[in-house]
Chains A and B, each alone.
Chain A
Amino acid sequence: MNYFEVFGLERKLGIDTEGLQRRFYELSRRHHPDFHATASSGEQADALEASARLNAAYRILRDPIGRIDYLVRLEEGRDTREGATVKPQAPPDLLEEMFEIQEALAEAKAQGLDEATRKTLAAQREHLLSRSREEEARLTGALAAAWDGARPDDRSRVLGELKQGLATRAYLRTVIDDLGQALDEDEDA
């Protein structure tokens, strides 16, 4: 049973989170081990499994990005993180900026940051943060809606775009973390 099925949902990305929470509470009342503590050991084991699956499903589906990531995995027929096909990838329009950042980071590692570089990196971090938020908005907005409305023969194209978006976001987050770390370390020193 996949996570959408746990909640009796179609494989769609537009999910009403309040309804999801209500359903989560309802199903928790049905499956939680606390309400099966006096049952046979077989029933207890079933409750434990159902409850663990429900909790995992809720955690993934209530997060709009997490649910896209899960959908991609599901569509590709993988149920663990093994063999991920979404690899972090730099957005083409930012390649030049990324190159500069990597160079500045390498330099900072070797000899610390001067005030000017520090300011530049902080500004670049801000820029990438807003770019990452844009990417998230596109994923959870237009692209999610596109998936939900796509005809069967158009699905693989939309799925490709979702993967592209996730790859871009993953890349941006890595660089943002690296920048954050470099700036923090410099602060500590």
Chain B
Amino acid sequence: MARIIGIDLGTTNSLVAYVDDRTGLPRIIPDAEGRRLLPSVVAFAPEGILVGESARRQLVRRPESTVYSVKRFMGRGYEDVKEELRYFPFTIRPAEGIVRLQVGDREVTPPEISAVILKALKERAEAHFSEPIEKAVITVPAYFNDSQRQATRDAGRIAGLDVVRILNEPTAASLAYGLHRLKEGVIAVYDLGGGTFDISILRVKEGIFEVLATNGNTHLGGDDFDRVLMLWLQEDIQARHHRELSCREVDLGRDHEAMQELRLAAEAAKIRLSSEERTTLTIPFDDFTYRREINRAELERLLEPLVRKTLGPCRAALADAGLAPAQIDEVVLVGGSTRVPLVRRRVQELFGKTPHSQLNPDEVVALGAAVQAQILAGGITHMLLLDVTPLSLGIETLGGVVSVLIPRNTTIPTSAREMFTTSVDGQTVVDMHVLQGERELAKDCRSLARFELRGIDPMPAGMPKIEVTFLIDANGILQVMAKELRTGKAASIEVKPTYGLSETDVQRMVDESFQYAEADVEARMLVEIRNEAATVMTHVQRALRQGEALVSEEERARITTALEALRQARETTDRESIRQRTVALNQATEHLAELMMDSALKSALGTRRASEIMESQ
């Protein structure tokens, strides 16, 4: 059986995990530097596509071509996201259907950007196992609708992965906890991540994890926390530094680089305030430095309305499960945003018990995905997850009213059958509009797709009996099948996804992705060697400043020449030349380094010697 990996494709960070055959426990796969989280950031730099930490470093420098939080755009249309677009530095043009981001001179869809992240994780796993990896379980928020799930599956395909299961994040977390310490009872999983919120209520009994109800908000998370603090900072800066700002050409709010700086400072301050009572924010501008202290109470005043927005879905899920808060045996916290003390307090108040968070809230979803991957591979047989569909599925009927076929919180897989007929003599095509949501009118629900039943034999109106089966599979994704009962003929169905990629689109992206793959590797190698060169240069410059007196003028001149040569080579894309000149600079400073070792200035060259860096290449 081929290995299946578990991937948490997060708004802020992504992770990959697997189950260790020897211990039977899930483990996170770190990258070569030992980092477990991969920042979900993709940068379209002139030297190629960057992902993760190297892309994150481009956020301030190249805000217009560096994409973060792309999960918020998955499976969505322009109308859904236009409100929050002004907070993002990248451009999305108004258009029908799926969102398309304008990055530099190219147009990319959210699944393509997510695919870059997935591919990096796939490669990380391949490096770890020294074998190709083709199958993955990928997690999504439980409250993701059909389009958002499809988009995630498309992203996997573009990355060259066979997505064997789309798994809900809170249920994934419950599996990780289940393996951790199996205890029976009713548990509530409160999952507040970077951009999404889920609440799931489960009954755990005899190894069965039965989801009773789920609810949430796919547009609420740590990003929103950062945003309110960022806007507050912006106002404060504008009030305090009005004079300096009035001399600037661009308005602060439109200065993408400065706003990214503010966003990152806000995020960092929010994180510090989870463990400290107060913190100081320092943001350097060209002509002034903004500095101010903020305490936890001030932050909590800003966050309170957002945290409150999570409580309604919790009550709704409890009501759907037919339970009172007191009937919940345990509450589990998942997602980085549950580190915020205010969140913990509100959850504790609602359920009347102290929530659990023994497992790292950033990692528990990926660990659970690995457990589910192992179940699918046949490696675990005592655990079984019975999940539900988060939203009611229906079809549009006369007058724009939705007729519900599958109610929310129905255990999946599940199916429903409905009969259709024609309304005009000789009609050979019947249209269907499939929707998801809890509202009565089609216009208030989420349009999933329009289906066309074709090839119906011409008959008087009302004569054909077409039986349509709607099946929601274990991924929470809809499949539709149709049959004309009089003739027994399977009717063909043409699907027009409202906010998705067509099959042809996905296929093209899969192909393109392979063409780009080689160029991407080249680009990444260039970036890496440039970064190493920069590190060596910084160390040498520092050593020169501190050890100036130790060497002759002649030697100093030799080092300076080598430094200048590397600086010039670094501007080019010639990898070999950069490497050679890095080695040369390294050799030129060997004597200086020795002298410095002898002197009290030993540490000036840093903990890593330049020669070690080159050897590790």
A and B from one complex: yes
A contacts, CB < 8 Å to B: 25, 28-29, 32-35, 37-38, 48-49, 51-53, 55-56, 58-59, 79-82
Report A58 CB to chain B, min CB distance, Å: 7
Q: Report chain A residues within 8 Å CB of B414.
A: 52, 55-56, 59
Q: A52, B415: Cβ atoms under 8 Å?
A: yes
Report B240 CB to chain A, min CB distance, Å: 42
Q: A80, B471: Cβ atoms under 8 Å?
A: no
Q: A37, B413: Cβ atoms under 8 Å?
A: no
Most buried by A among B206, B376, B411: B411
Let me know if B205 is at the binding interface, CB within 8 A. Answer: yes
| A32-B386, A35-B384, A80-B419 as given contacts; A48 in contact with B205, CB under 8 Å | no
Cβ-defined partner of B474 (8 Å) among A34, A53, A58, A80: A34
Q: B384, A38: Cβ atoms under 8 Å?
A: no
Q: Report chain B residues within 8 Å CB of A48.
A: 413, 471, 473-474
Can you list 30 residue pairs at the A/B interface with Cβ under 8 Å? A25-B208, A28-B386, A29-B208, A29-B384, A32-B474, A33-B473, A33-B474, A34-B165, A34-B372, A34-B376, A34-B385, A34-B474, A35-B378, A37-B376, A37-B377, A37-B378, A38-B377, A48-B471, A48-B473, A51-B413, A52-B414, A52-B415, A55-B386, A55-B410, A55-B411, A56-B416, A58-B411, A81-B418, A82-B418, A82-B419
Residues 359-394 (chain B) with a chain A CB within 8 angstroms = 372, 375-378, 381, 384-386
Report A130 CB to chain B, min CB distance, Å: 20
How far apart are the CA atoms of A38 and B411 in the complex, in Å? 22
How far apart are the CA atoms of A131 and B178 in the complex, in Å? 44
How far apart are the CA atoms of A92 and B419 in the complex, in Å? 34
Cβ-defined partner of A34 (8 Å) among B375, B411, B467: B375
B413 nearest in chain A by CB position: A52
Q: Report chain A residues within 8 Å CB of B384.
A: 28-29, 32, 34-35
Report B397 CB to chain A, min CB distance, Å: 12
Let me know if B164 is at the binding interface, CB within 8 A. Answer: yes
How far apart are the CA atoms of A38 and B164 in the complex, in Å? 10
How far apart are the CA atoms of A35 and B376 in the complex, in Å? 6
Q: Report chain B residues within 8 Å CB of A81.
A: 418
Q: A25, B164: Cβ atoms under 8 Å?
A: no
Q: A35, B381: Cβ atoms under 8 Å?
A: yes
How far apart are the CA atoms of A81 and B415 in the complex, in Å? 14
How far apart are the CA atoms of A172 and B447 in the complex, in Å? 32
Let me know if B595 is at the binding interface, CB within 8 A. Answer: no
| A25-B206, A34-B384, A37-B376 as given contacts; A52 in contact with B164, CB under 8 Å | no
Q: A34-B384, A52-B471 are in contact. List 18 more A-B contacts (CB 8 A).
A: A25-B210, A28-B384, A28-B386, A29-B208, A32-B474, A33-B473, A33-B474, A34-B165, A34-B372, A37-B378, A38-B377, A51-B413, A51-B474, A55-B411, A56-B415, A59-B411, A59-B414, A81-B418
Q: A80, B418: Cβ atoms under 8 Å?
A: yes
What 4 pairs across the A-B complex have the smallest Cβ distances? A55-B411, A37-B376, A52-B415, A52-B413
Report B447 CB to chain A, min CB distance, Å: 23
Q: Report chain A residues within 8 Å CB of B1.
A: 38
Report A67 CB to chain B, min CB distance, Å: 16
Let me know if B439 is at the binding interface, CB within 8 A. Answer: no
What sequence of 0s and 1s flags, for each residue 399-442 of chain B, a beta carbon within 8 Å of any chain A beta carbon?
00000000000111111111100000000000000000000000
Q: B413, A28: Cβ atoms under 8 Å?
A: no
Q: How many residues of B contact A (CB 8 A)?
A: 30
Report A38 CB to chain B, min CB distance, Å: 5
Report A17 CB to chain B, min CB distance, Å: 12
Q: Report chain A residues within 8 Å CB of B473.
A: 33, 48
Most buried by B among A38, A55, A79, A80: A55
Q: Report chain B residues within 8 Å CB of A32.
A: 384, 386, 474
Q: Report chain A residues within 8 Å CB of B417.
A: 79-80
B475 nearest in chain A by CB position: A33
A22 nearest in chain B by CB position: B206
Report B319 CB to chain A, min CB distance, Å: 15
How far apart are the CA atoms of A28 and B386 in the complex, in Å? 8
How far apart are the CA atoms of A81 and B417 in the complex, in Å? 9
Q: A25, B205: Cβ atoms under 8 Å?
A: yes
How far apart are the CA atoms of A52 and B470 in the complex, in Å? 11
How far apart are the CA atoms of A63 and B400 in the complex, in Å? 30
B376 nearest in chain A by CB position: A37
Report B474 CB to chain A, min CB distance, Å: 5
Report B55 CB to chain A, min CB distance, Å: 34
How far apart are the CA atoms of A55 and B419 in the complex, in Å? 21
How far apart are the CA atoms of A113 and B93 in the complex, in Å? 47
Residues 179-216 (chain B) with a chain A CB within 8 angstroms = 205-206, 208, 210
Q: Report chain A residues within 8 Å CB of B210.
A: 25
How far apart are the CA atoms of A51 and B384 in the complex, in Å? 13
Q: B412, A55: Cβ atoms under 8 Å?
A: yes
How far apart are the CA atoms of A33 and B208 in the complex, in Å? 14
Q: Report chain A residues within 8 Å CB of B377.
A: 37-38
How far apart are the CA atoms of A82 and B417 in the complex, in Å? 10
Most buried by A among B381, B384, B386, B413: B413
A33 nearest in chain B by CB position: B474
Q: B410, A59: Cβ atoms under 8 Å?
A: yes
How far apart are the CA atoms of A55 and B395 in the complex, in Å? 21
How far apart are the CA atoms of A52 and B410 in the complex, in Å? 10
Q: Report chain A residues within 8 Å CB of B471.
A: 48, 52
How far apart are the CA atoms of A33 and B411 in the complex, in Å? 13
Q: Report chain B residues within 8 Å CB of A37.
A: 164, 376-378
Report A82 CB to chain B, min CB distance, Å: 5
How far apart are the CA atoms of A25 and B381 in the complex, in Å? 13
B2 nearest in chain A by CB position: A38
How far apart are the CA atoms of A55 and B210 in the complex, in Å? 11
Q: B376, A55: Cβ atoms under 8 Å?
A: no
Report A148 CB to chain B, min CB distance, Å: 25
Q: Report chain A residues within 8 Å CB of B381.
A: 35
Q: Report chain A residues within 8 Å CB of B418.
A: 80-82
Report B431 CB to chain A, min CB distance, Å: 19
Report B220 CB to chain A, min CB distance, Å: 24
Report B381 CB to chain A, min CB distance, Å: 7
Q: A38, B205: Cβ atoms under 8 Å?
A: no
